[in-house]
Amino acid sequence: MRMIASLLVVVFVLVAVVPPVNAQSSHAAPISALESAVQEHVASSAADREAVLRLLASPEVQSIAGDVGIDLRQVESAVGALEGSQLAEVAAQARQAEGALAGGQSRVVISTTMIIIALLVLILIIVAVD
């Protein structure tokens, strides 16, 4: 009787341990794929951050920020704290404003001005909340 109980315990242990071990090895991603994904994420974040900083460096934005009383140094340092979806959202708005400014407009129109002010305020709010 003791031999049967020992045999059943061994069988149950093997049944419980072997499938999870096989499942872990068959679903693991290669290291090169993980490294590639991390590099893409870093490059995307760097490009987003650069887009926002490029817009902040434009003379139009500096003029608007000065008129409204926003310190661009504080905004630029806040851009460094943005991550993930917040950074992507702000970068999309910065690209939209940059496109409007670069689209041959010789002056800033109200909608572009509002986008820039909203962008600056959004960055400050996001950083203040975090």
Q: Residue 73: pLDDT band by 50, 70, 90 thresholds?
A: confident
Judge whether 68 lies within some domain: yes
- On whether residue 28 sits in a domain, the answer given is no
Domain for residue 103, yes or no?
yes
Number of domains in the chain: 1
pLDDT higher for 126 or 47?
47
Mean pLDDT calculated for residue range 62-89: 84
pLDDT at position 84: 85
**Average pLDDT for the chain:** 76
Say what the pLDDT of residue 1 is: 60
In a domain, 30, yes or no: no
The answer to the question of residue 53 being in a domain is: yes
Token representation of residue 88: 């992507």
* Structural domain of 60: 46-130
Look at residue 33 and tell me if it is in a domain: no
Over 70: is that where the pLDDT of 78 sits? yes
* Residue 31 domain flag: no
Q: Which residue has the higher pLDDT, 13 or 50?
A: 50
